[in-house]
């Protein structure tokens, strides 16, 4: 995202220009830095660049469908494209697609799997069965994403303790059922 913002001539905080990965090495370090100058500048930067962040998320989504369907059988490809289109045709349907792909990825990388089962947007769309756009499509996406993430936690290595994230993930999946109000 930072490279995308730089391409759009967005001024990054100086300290972000020299940061390779996350500037905090643990949640504890992150929490301890809550009122630090870096954290304050990061919060302001994120507030100031909401439109650009949205454009980045939309761009990533535009690349997702070809990535997801590239190695599918013709029947699976058609199914995924139909489910994607159901959501695109539904009021508020872009939000779950954009959010999920930026939250958990496309689901095509071998590293995005536990015991051979992925947890990305591809797996969510494969888990949907309906045909009509509208509220049912949002509800089905929400339910499929919940199943996919629950399966991820069940298949994850116990040492990772992914169960600790499941409640928050389920809340996020629930939000997919409700279209966001239009921006002013």
pLDDT per residue of the chain (184 residues) written in tens, 0 to 9: 888 999 999 999 988 888 877 888 888 999 999 999 999 999 999 999 999 998 998 888 889 999 999 989 999 999 999 999 999 999 999 999 999 999 999 999 999 899 999 999 999 999 999 999 999 999 999 999 999 999 999 999 999 999 999 999 999 999 999 876 555 5
**What residues contact residue 2 under an 8 Å CB cut-off, 6+ apart?**
12, 16
pLDDT value of residue 58: 87
Q: Is position 34 within any domain?
A: no
d(CA 174, CA 177): 6
Q: Is position 10 within any domain?
A: no
Q: Is position 5 within any domain?
A: no
Q: Is position 98 within any domain?
A: yes
pLDDT value of residue 136: 96
Q: Is position 76 within any domain?
A: yes
Contact 90, 134 (CB under 8 A): yes
d(CA 67, CA 52): 23
Phi/psi at 117 (nearest 5 deg)? -105, 125
Q: Is position 163 within any domain?
A: yes
CA angle at residue 21 from 16 to 27, to 5 degrees?
Answer: 100
φ/ψ bin of 22: left (φ > 0), alpha (ψ from -120 to 50), beta (otherwise): beta
Q: Is position 157 within any domain?
A: yes
Number of structural domains in the chain: 1
Element (H, E) at 113: strand 113-114
pLDDT value of residue 25: 86
Q: Is position 102 within any domain?
A: yes
For residue 92, the enclosing domain spans 54-175
d(CA 88, CA 96): 10
């Amino acid at each position: 995202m930072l490279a995308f913002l730089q391409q759009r001539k967005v001024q990054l905080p100086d300290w972000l220009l020299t940061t390779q990965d996350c500037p905090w090495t643990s949640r504890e370090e992150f929490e301890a830095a809550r009122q630090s100058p870096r954290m304050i500048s990061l919060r302001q930067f994120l507030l100031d660049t909401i439109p650009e962040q949205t454009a980045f998320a939309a761009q990533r989504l535009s690349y997702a469908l070809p990535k997801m369907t590239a190695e599918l059988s013709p029947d699976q490809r058609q199914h995924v494209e139909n489910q994607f289109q159901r959501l695109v045709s539904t009021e508020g349907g872009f939000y779950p697609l954009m959010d999920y792909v930026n939250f958990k990825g496309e689901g095509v990388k071998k590293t995005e799997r536990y015991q051979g089962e992925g947890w990305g947007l591809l797996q969510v769309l494969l888990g949907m069965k309906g045909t009509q756009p509208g509220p049912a499509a949002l509800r089905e996406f929400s339910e499929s994403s919940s199943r996919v993430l629950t399966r991820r936690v069940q298949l994850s290595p116990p040492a990772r303790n992914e169960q600790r994230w499941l409640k928050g993930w389920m809340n996020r999946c629930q939000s997919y059922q409700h279209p966001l109000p239009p921006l002013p």
